[in-house]
Amino acid sequence: MSPLPGAELVRSSVQLYRYLLRCCRRLPRGPVQQHYRHAIRQSFKVHADEDDPERIQQIIKRAIEDADWVMDK
């Protein structure tokens, strides 16, 4: 089960970024939410120069799996 409906529609890095930030809204307010919002932004910056479509899809898939794990935790 995906953390939010629509995970299967994420195809680009910008869509992933918005999706993950929406997931953060479901986390408890305060340090936990701030931590994950910061981690999402940092990861987006780190992978901003990625241009291999296959690698981008791997990153998207992994990020959604990680978001699912965090939301279940």
Q: What integer is the mean pLDDT of 41-64?
A: 92
In the chain, the number of structural domains is 1
Give residue 55's pLDDT band: very low, low, confident or very high (50, 70, 90): very high
DSSP labels, 1-54: --SSTTGGG--SHHHHHHHHHHHHTTSPTTHHHHHHHHHHHHHHHHTTT---HH
Whether residue 27 lies inside any domain: the answer is yes
Whether residue 17 lies inside any domain: the answer is yes
Whether residue 21 lies inside any domain: the answer is yes
Give the tens place of pLDDT for each residue, 4-45: 677 778 888 889 999 999 999 999 899 999 999 999 999 999
Q: Which domain holds residue 41?
A: 7-72
Q: What pLDDT score was predicted for residue 1? A: 46
Q: What pLDDT score was predicted for residue 73? A: 78
Whether residue 2 lies inside any domain: the answer is no
pTM for the whole structure: 0.81
